[in-house]
Amino acid sequence: MDDILKKLDSEKRNRIINSAIEEFSLYPYNKASTNNIVKKAGISKGLLFHYFGSKKELYEYLCGFVVKKLFNEINDSLNWDESDIFERIKEIALAKLKMSHTYPKLFDFVISLFKNESNSLNVSDAISLYEKYGINVQEIFVKFYSYNIDYTLFKDQENINVKIDIIRWTLEKFAEEKSFPMMEANVKFDYEKMLVLMDDYLNVLKKAFY
């Protein structure tokens, strides 16, 4: 399946993937419509099933695609020589932003994978899904937020994990509020401007924690 998709030009391939991701993030599997997917993608249903065989194969492909894309893109974008947790978190936030501009509904789809009937995340199911595609979530998160990081930079060594969460949540909310309006308006994203704005927030947090 991957070999077939690789033969497509990137614009068409991403259009198909994004159309499917959007449909499955909006509706549960049994209510998602392949008719909506092909309409948004601008292809025939016959061509969709030529690539994926069935709705089930399409969904399973997307599960593997988004899980691997999420962690591999972040992993490949990080500077592992960086020892400042603020810079590490900024790099992770920027990697997520770039993914969101290529695949706008990717994170909505990831969240939808783990929603149960009570509409809350089922952690054990999430971990099982990641492991299915060779992703050890706990190991990767430890690597992302601790490898080569100099925690002695914090002026107070208590509750460092809580402080890291505060930094991470601040940047994620910042990125959401600043970037999503641009995406909806189809405005070209200015990463240099985003970096300057991020640094303003990070400098405030650094004064509080370092």
* Lowest-confidence segment of 20-24, 81-85, 177-181 by average pLDDT: 177-181
* Dist CA 44 CA 111 (whole Å): 28
Q: Residues with Cβ < 8 Å from 167, sequence gap 6 or more?
A: 85, 86, 89, 202, 205, 209
Q: Which residues are 115's β-sheet partners?
A: 121
CATH number of the structural domain spanning residue 90: 1.10.357.10
* Dist CA 63 CA 55 (whole Å): 12
Number of domains, the chain:
1
Angle among Cα 35, 36, 37 to the nearest 5 degrees reads: 90
Q: Which amino acid belongs to residue 115?
A: K
Which comes out higher in pLDDT, residue 61 or 192?
61
* Dist CA 34 CA 102 (whole Å): 21
* Dist CA 194 CA 192 (whole Å): 5
Q: Are 66 and 109 in contact (CB under 8 A)?
A: yes
pLDDT in tens, 102-131: 898 888 888 887 665 444 445 566 667 677
pLDDT in tens, 126-140: 667 677 777 787 788
Q: What pTM was estimated for this model as a whole?
A: 0.80
Burial of 190 (0-12, 13-18, 19+ CB in 10 A): exposed
Place of tokens 């999420």: 70
Place of tokens 């292809």: 43
Domain membership of residue 14 as a residue range: 2-209
Q: Which residues are 121's β-sheet partners?
A: 115
